[in-house]
Structure 1
Amino acid sequence: LPLRRRYDTFANFRPVYLPKEIAHFSPLKPEIIGDGVDFIIIRELVGGLYFGKKETGVNDAGRRYVNESLEYDEDQIARIARVAFETAQKRKGVLHNIHKSNVLKSSVLWNEVMEEVGTDFPDVEIKHILVDAAATYLCLNPGQFDVMVMENMF
């Protein structure tokens, strides 16, 4: 983590590629793999929980506790959004924004900034998906994904 912060390596690319010819090696059924799988996961690496404030202690009831803060500012989100949109623009033109906005205020801001940055990329379709649903869709229909972007917690 210190190297990430020092060199500001904020974007992590995780390509997922499985050609149809070797789909039989996958634990997923061949009909789910279809013509193969080819997508990229882009994670933000220098904000969020990894770099938020951390506190541990013992509360008044004598129980150990931990408190960690998840913090992003709009500039951090915008720069990873730009990387994701630019990547999607070079591929199939679909960007899946993975979030947890039903629970996390940080994800609400994340979604807002993604939409704002998206106006600079009218040729890229953005789809917002809750992280829980995304995990299910990865198993049921991984071929629908092209570029996925998310914070480092997911």
Structure 2
Amino acid sequence: MSAAPLSTTTVNRCRRRPVEGCEQADAILFGSVGGPKWENLPPDSQPERGALLPLRKHFKLFSNLRPAKLYQGLEAFCPLRADIAANGFDILCVRELTGGIYFGQPKGREGSGQHEKAFDTEVYHRFEIERIARIAFESARKRRRKVTSIDKANVLQTSILWREIVNEVAKAYPDVELAHMYIDNATMQLIKDPSQFDVLLCSNLFGRHSV
């Protein structure tokens, strides 16, 4: 199966009737969106904001499971160094999908000249962190029983709350090992030794670029 960006006509139709059309369906198969063709459109007319994000929010699609596995015999096709690829890897990234900086308010641009600025807001509620953390721990129980939670708790208030709540949820899963890692270090470790990871628990933004 291959994927191609949606056409402008399809995106505009999705913007007009994204919810009711999908509500009448038994399943939603959503292809990839975005690309250079739409980069110069107003932000709210781009396919990500016009179709993809509204559907995620409306249908409460808060959990994005992103597997990354190197199958035996395919090591030569892995972009990692040969000695690293030889160890293989089997990672599941559990990404929170309906909170965080993608949806936080306020966001926008204002001012002009040297005073022009743009801003986004990262917001996470307790319930959003709790439910995605449970998904990660339940997934780990079916795998190698290790969760690595990715954050930036040395800088961001949302990451401090994220880490606190993940620690609380972990108490209900004493059979699962929990580790915390800053996003910048995690990015390096994924290249240096991906075999050390089992389940990665990530916010919306950090999970977008983890695997």
TM-score (norm 2): 0.70
Of 49, 69, 77, the match for 1:25:
77
The residue identity in structure 2 corresponding to 1:87 is S
What RMSD, in angstroms, separates the aligned Cα atoms of the two structures?
Answer: 1.1
The answer on whether the counterparts of 1:34 and 1:143 sit within 8 Å (CA) in structure 2 is no
Hey, what does 2:110 align to over in structure 1?
57
Aligned to 1:66: 118
* Cα drift, residue 35 of structure 1: 3.5
- Percent of pairs identical after alignment? 41
Aligned length: 153
* 1:87 equivalent in alignment to 2:135: no
Question: Which residue matches 1:6?
Answer: 58
Once the two structures are superposed, the pairs formed by residues 1-154 of structure 1 within 5 Å of their partners are: 1-53=53-105, 54-58=107-111, 62-154=114-206
- Unaligned regions of 5+ residues in structure 2, if any? 1-52, 207-211
Secondary structure of 2:64's counterpart equals: strand
Contact 1:101–1:130 (8 Å) recurs in 2: yes
CA distance in 2, matches of 1:146, 1:90: 11
Task: Give distance in 2, aligned partners of 1:64 and 1:106.
Answer: 26
Point out 4+ residue stretches in structure 1 off by more than 3 angstroms: none
Single out whichever of 25-34 and 47-56 deviates more from structure 2: 25-34
Task: For CA contacts below 8 A with separation 6 or more, give which structure has more relative contact order.
Answer: 1
Instruction: Give the SS at the match of 2:74.
Output: helix
CA distance in 2 between partners of 1:134 and 1:40 (Å): 14
- Cα distance in 2 between the residues matched to 1:131 and 1:35: 23
Q: CA offsets per residue over residues 99-135 of structure 1, 9 Å max, x none?
A: 0111101000000000000000000001000000001
Q: Which is strand-richer, 1 or 2?
A: 1
Q: Which TM-score applies when normalising by structure 1?
A: 0.95
